Amino acid sequence: MKYLLILITCSLLLITSLQAGQLASTVIEADLKASPSIKSKTLKILETDTPVNIVERQGGWYRVETAPPLQGWLKMLWLRYSLTGSEQGGFSLLTQGTGSVTVATGVRGLSEEELEKGQGDPFAINTLDRFIVSPEQARAFAKAEGLKQTQLPYVETK
């Protein structure tokens, strides 16, 4: 529960740090939409890594401006946000090393009103118990679906 609260807090800090004038780039080939709706008319298809300037946020969408000047809407999940000190007036949040790009995760696509109205259910985690399976059941499922075992290196934290 403690880690969930930390994750939510960090996510909220990240989301609120994104403001008009924030630089970002597309993480995939994305359709620039005329309005914040997936059914909206596509104004232009933006290539992966196309730089954009965030102008406004509405729910899970950002109104952005591209070069040459063209404004449209992109889903939050289609963007990677630049969060370096030089771009944020000396403020650097959740960046590592010399890289200047961070992908935001966590509470995405929720409006401030939705977050404020959220009640939470501390007992909802208990409903996950019905999804518990034994190692044998997991192996049987993997075999039936044709999944292959892959060894990953163990990462030790201090």
What is the DSSP annotation of 12-80? HHHHHH--TT-EEEESS-EEEESSSSTTSPEEEEEPTT-EEEEEEEETTEEEEEETTTEEEEEEGGGEE
pLDDT at 72 over 90: yes
Q: 3.40.50.2300, 1.20.1250.20, 3.40.50.720, 2.30.30.40: which CATH number matches 2-117?
A: 2.30.30.40
- For 54-63, 73-82, 92-101, 136-145, which range has the lowest pLDDT when averaged over its residues? 92-101
Provide the residue ranges of all domains of the chain, joining segments of one domain with +: 2-117
Q: pTM of the prediction? A: 0.46
